[in-house]
């Protein structure tokens, strides 16, 4: 899921979060309801642990949480998760949800190709033994 590139962010939101970057506020706006659900389910420490256990590609969207503008890496992802545990978890979950079907299909295709190769090898082995 991608966010709009432009948005109107009220000054009160900018000062409330002490953040002036629109991508952060756009993500916060889109995921606020999910954050509330996650806060009811997990402690901040649990949310951070889930973010840090997620695959690295799913952590890439955490870039919007960084204040520095530097590229995301494991250390910066951890810092973002610690600062915004529920928003970070909501972002990671959204990315995993968005990409899960493709990942499942890719894995199934890979298994299918491997099964086809195995079947071909087994057939060759049977022919050689006969």
Averaged over 7-34, what is the pLDDT? 76
The per-residue pLDDT for range 57-68, each reduced to its tens digit, is 888 899 999 987
Sequence-distant (6+) residues with CB within 8 A of 70 are 76
User: Cα separation of 105 and 19, whole Å?
Assistant: 39
Query: Considering only CA atoms, which of 27, 82, 18 is closest in space to residue 50?
Result: 82
pLDDT band at 23, cuts 50/70/90?
confident
The phi, psi pair for 73, rounded to 5°, reads: -145, 180
Q: What is the pLDDT of residue 103?
A: 75
Among the listed residues 53, 50, 52, 64, the one whose alpha carbon sits nearest the alpha carbon of residue 1: 64
Residue 32 makes CB contacts below 8 A (sequence gap 6+) with: none
Domain boundaries, the chain: 11-100
pLDDT tens track for 76-89: 999 999 999 999 99
Task: Find which of 16-20, 97-101, 116-120 is predicted with most confidence, using mean pLDDT.
Answer: 116-120
Q: Is this model's pTM higher than 0.75 or not?
A: no
pLDDT at 7: 63
The per-residue pLDDT of the chain, averaged, comes to: 86
């Amino acid at each position: 899921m991608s966010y709009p590139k432009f948005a109107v962010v009220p000054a009160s939101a900018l000062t409330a979060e002490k953040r002036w970057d629109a991508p952060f506020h756009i993500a916060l706006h889109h995921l606020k309801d999910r954050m509330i659900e996650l806060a009811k389910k997990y402690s901040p420490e649990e949310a951070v642990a889930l973010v840090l256990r997620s695959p690295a590609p799913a952590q890439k969207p955490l870039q919007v949480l960084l204040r520095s503008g530097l590229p995301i890496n494991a250390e910066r992802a951890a810092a973002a998760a610690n600062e915004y545990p529920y928003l970070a978890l909501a972002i990671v979950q959204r990315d995993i949800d968005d990409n899960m079907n493709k990942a499942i299909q890719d894995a199934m295709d890979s298994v299918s190709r491997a099964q086809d190769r195995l079947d071909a090898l087994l057939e060759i082995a049977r022919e050689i033994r006969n």
